[in-house]
Amino acid sequence: MPKAWIQDRKRDYYYKKAREEKYRSRASYKLIQAVKKYDFIKYGDVVIDLGAAPGGWIQVAKRIIGNKGFILGVDLKPIEPFPQSYVRTIVGDMTERETLEQILELLPRKADVVISDASPNISGIWEVDHARQIDLAQQALEISYETLRPHGNFFVKAFQGDLLDDFIQKMRKHFQTVKIIKPAASRAKSSEIFLLGLNLRQLPD
């Protein structure tokens, strides 16, 4: 890792806060801030977390849902297990059908919320990274159609760029309300934003 990057990270407010508050990643604060404003995860909810490693969002969501809820984290990488029986994690590629089948098998019922912070390995070539990120967001959206209950919520990371508008339009077809969010914990210089789809519509088959 480049030295400057390591130094930047050490100076970073949310990085330090995450270490002090024992969150597995600074990304936790992005979810905390978004939920504080829009209240889209509730006590007792069933939640799917896509691209969940190392588990910072799981830590946040599990506190909200409590032991009447259930959360399933999915990532290409293994996630250090959580002791609570209502927190499950699996290693899987969210772009593969087999992973969706595994998710459906493990859910106690349809999900109330799907969250996705999944992001590709960054190549540094902006167009490539944007396109790969939108592909993952698209994949998360498709998983949400198959796993969410009617009126469920969907929260997903995207990178700004040419393909974003089309993606937002797709979300608008399926969710009654779509919000574009840039949490304070998301670095201002990053093109990352989050999209929140509230209230999944019941579409005709």
Ligand X SMILES: C[S@@+](CC[C@H](N)C(=O)[O-])C[C@H]1O[C@@H](n2cnc3c(N)ncnc32)[C@H](O)[C@@H]1O
Binding site for ligand X (CB under 6 A): 24-25, 27-28, 51-57, 74-77, 93-95, 117-120, 136
Q: How far is the CB of 121 from ligand X (least distance, A)?
A: 8
Among 30, 157, 179, 182, the one annotated catalytic: 157
Name the nearest CA neighbour of 27 among 5, 4, 51, 57: 57
Among positive and negative, which fits the CA dihedral 3, 193, 133, 126?
A: negative
| Shortest CB 159 distance to ligand X, Å | 12
Q: What phi and psi, each to the nearest 5 degrees, are found at residue 66?
A: 65, -175
Bridge-partner residues for 195, per DSSP? Answer: 156, 180
| Cβ proximity to ligand X, 84 vs 119, nearer residue | 119
189 classed as catalytic: no
200 and 174 in contact (C-beta within 8 Å)? yes
Q: Are 102 and 90 in contact (CB under 8 A)?
A: yes
> Of 101, 104, 68, which Cα lies nearest the Cα of 87?
68
Shortest distance, position 83 Cβ to ligand X, whole Å: 17
CB of 51 to ligand X, least distance (A): 3
Q: End-to-end CA distance of the chain, in Å?
A: 49
- Judged by beta carbon, residue 9 or residue 172, the one nearer ligand X is 9
Nearer to ligand X, 24 or 199 (CB): 24
Catalytic residues: 157
